[in-house]
């Protein structure tokens, strides 16, 4: 989302709009251009009502976000896209009832908005018709025409549609997450996710078929979003379930290489070319951990300063490196790295530095352990996998492949 523009912040939540949002404004102008108000006025009205629609979408996402904050779940941002909005939560809560309440809050906001706009719709309809409407179909047919009654009718209908459509049990839409949270009250979180994603894929298939037959590009995009988003969520939940069985100490490479503060970047270049290790702990002459030289920092420093630069001048200081204990689970380490955007954490037992864990380490560890667990047909690892080995890294020796 690097091409997103920050619109404003509220309760420490950034609201961003992706550049592709311009496509939906152009679409709104296009479909309203042939109205009775003329092409220019119709196009401007189409842009106006589309913006109002996305105000409602933003409020929907704030329903999720503020409820998440109530349960002490950090929300980093809300991003508006042509197919809707996304509230990016740092994590989902462990309790299914909390996930249920966070998820259902979004559609409830839309239903509340529909109720709020309903009296205005009825008032302006009555003023326009001269009597209380007994038949809403004429106004519904003319919603695209500029007018106060038509505008409030649009807002009521749009919010009802947003609320009901999001309740479709198609993961990762709200309805799919609600289904997952309800299932998780009676079965494992992993199994509940698998069932919710399967149902979502079936619905995505139906939407794709309908989109092809009706030549509806938005329906095809939503089907794609449901399929890809559901698959990503299932993989993440299954991965996290495996990683919960293992401690941070078990992911440490005992043959990892250390660098010293006084060494030059040329030493790191030699190591990165001859080993599979890409991120290096930095120690002082007394053996104390003082920082990390990551691959991105190394590449940037080589481009700007050259290979004779000292490691200490370009490293990430120790006080900026995320710290975890050796007993913490890899699932917690993964969550910490994902929420912070960091590619590396340091493992310390009190004041004793044990080593680094990178995203690559976790991925490789997961691949090996999940393969071993699936081979045995046992959802839990054998006892010999759950012991905690000695994890003190050695100096200047090649890392294991």
Are 97 and 153 part of one and the same domain? yes
Are 87 and 177 part of one and the same domain? yes
Tokens encoding 294: 């990551």
Tokens encoding 242: 């495996």
Q: Final residue of a domain: which of 223, 243, 263?
A: 243
Q: What is the pLDDT of residue 181?
A: 92
Are 235 and 285 part of one and the same domain? no
In a domain, 393, yes or no: no
Q: Which of 223, 210, 246 is nearest to 364 (CA)?
A: 246
Q: What is the CATH number of the domain that holds 306?
A: 3.10.580.10
pLDDT tens-digit map of 69-96: 999 888 888 988 887 888 888 777 878 9
What is the mean predicted confidence (pLDDT) over 303-325?
A: 90
In a domain, 279, yes or no: yes
pLDDT tens-digit map of 369-393: 777 665 555 545 544 444 333 333 3
Are 89 and 198 part of one and the same domain? yes
- How confident is residue 167, by pLDDT bands cut at 50, 70 and 90? very high
Q: Final residue of a domain: which of 216, 243, 270?
A: 243
Structure pTM?
0.71
In a domain, 401, yes or no: no
Q: What is the pLDDT of residue 36?
A: 62
In a domain, 392, yes or no: no
In a domain, 397, yes or no: no
Are 279 and 184 part of one and the same domain? no
Q: Are 79 and 4 in contact (CB under 8 A)?
A: yes
Are 211 and 260 part of one and the same domain? no
Q: What is the pLDDT of residue 130?
A: 73
Are 309 and 197 part of one and the same domain? no
Q: What is the pLDDT of residue 389?
A: 35
Higher pLDDT, 38 or 173: 173
Is 236's pLDDT higher than 60?
Answer: yes
Are 282 and 223 part of one and the same domain? no
In a domain, 117, yes or no: yes
Element (H, E) at 283: strand 280-283
What's the domain range around 334?
248-385
**Averaged pLDDT of the chain:** 83
Tokens encoding 225: 């979003």
List Cβ<8 Å contacts ≥24 apart for 217-226: 218/83, 221/82, 221/83, 222/83, 225/83, 226/170, 226/171, 226/172, 226/173, 226/176, 226/200, 226/201
Q: Are 167 and 175 in contact (CB under 8 A)?
A: yes
Are 236 and 263 part of one and the same domain? no
Q: Final residue of a domain: which of 243, 275, 309?
A: 243
What is the mean predicted confidence (pLDDT) over 340-354?
A: 86
Are 58 and 189 part of one and the same domain? yes
Higher pLDDT, 301 or 341: 301
Domain count for the chain, please give it: 2
Are 225 and 262 part of one and the same domain? no
- How confident is residue 68, by pLDDT bands cut at 50, 70 and 90? very high
Are 233 and 371 part of one and the same domain? no
Left, alpha or beta for 355 (phi > 0: left; psi -120 to 50: alpha)?
Answer: left
Is 322's pLDDT higher than 70?
Answer: yes
Give the distance, in angstroms, between the CA of residue 2 and the centroid of all CA atoms in the same chain: 14
């Amino acid at each position: 989302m690097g091409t997103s523009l920050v619109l404003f912040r509220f309760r420490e939540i950034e609201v961003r709009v992706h550049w592709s949002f311009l496509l939906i404004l152009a679409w709104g102008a296009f479909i309203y251009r042939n109205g009775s108000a003329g092409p220019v006025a119709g196009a401007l009205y189409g842009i106006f009502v589309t913006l109002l629609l996305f105000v409602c979408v933003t409020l929907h996402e704030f329903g999720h976000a503020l409820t998440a904050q109530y349960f002490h779940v950090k929300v980093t941002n809300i991003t508006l896209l042509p197919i809707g909005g996304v509230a990016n939560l740092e994590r989902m809560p462990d309790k299914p009832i909390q996930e249920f309440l966070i998820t259902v809050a979004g559609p409830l906001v839309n239903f509340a908005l529909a109720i709020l706009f309903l009296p205005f719709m009825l008032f302006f309809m009555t003023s326009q018709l001269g009597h209380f409407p007994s038949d809403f179909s004429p106004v519904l047919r003319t919603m695209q025409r500029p007018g106060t009654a038509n505008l409030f009718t649009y807002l009521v209908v749009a919010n009802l549609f947003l609320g009901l459509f999001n309740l479709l049990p198609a993961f990762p839409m709200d309805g799919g997450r609600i289904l997952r949270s309800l299932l998780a009250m009676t079965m494992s979180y992993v199994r509940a996710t698998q069932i919710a994603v399967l149902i979502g894929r079936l619905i995505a298939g139906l939407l794709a078929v309908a989109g092809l037959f009706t030549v509806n590009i938005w329906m095809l995009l939503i089907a794609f979003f449901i399929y890809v988003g559901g698959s990503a969520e299932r993989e993440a939940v299954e991965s996290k379930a495996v990683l919960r069985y293992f401690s941070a100490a078990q992911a440490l490479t005992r043959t990892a290489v250390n660098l010293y503060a006084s060494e030059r970047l040329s030493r790191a270049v030699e190591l990165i070319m001859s080993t599979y290790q890409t991120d290096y702990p930095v120690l002082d002459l007394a053996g104390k951990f003082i920082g990390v030289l990551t691959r991105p920092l190394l590449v940037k420093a080589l481009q700007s300063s050259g290979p004779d630069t000292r490691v200490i001048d370009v490293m990430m200081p120790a006080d900026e490196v995320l710290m975890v204990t050796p007993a913490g689970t890899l699932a917690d380490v993964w969550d910490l790295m994902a929420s912070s955007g960091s590619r590396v954490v340091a493992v310390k037992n009190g004041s004793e530095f044990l080593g680094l864990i990178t995203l690559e380490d976790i991925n490789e560890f997961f691949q090996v352990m999940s393969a071993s667990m699936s081979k045995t047909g046992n959802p839990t690892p054998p006892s010999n996998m759950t012991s905690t080995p000695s994890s003190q890294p050695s100096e200047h020796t090649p890392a294991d492949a």
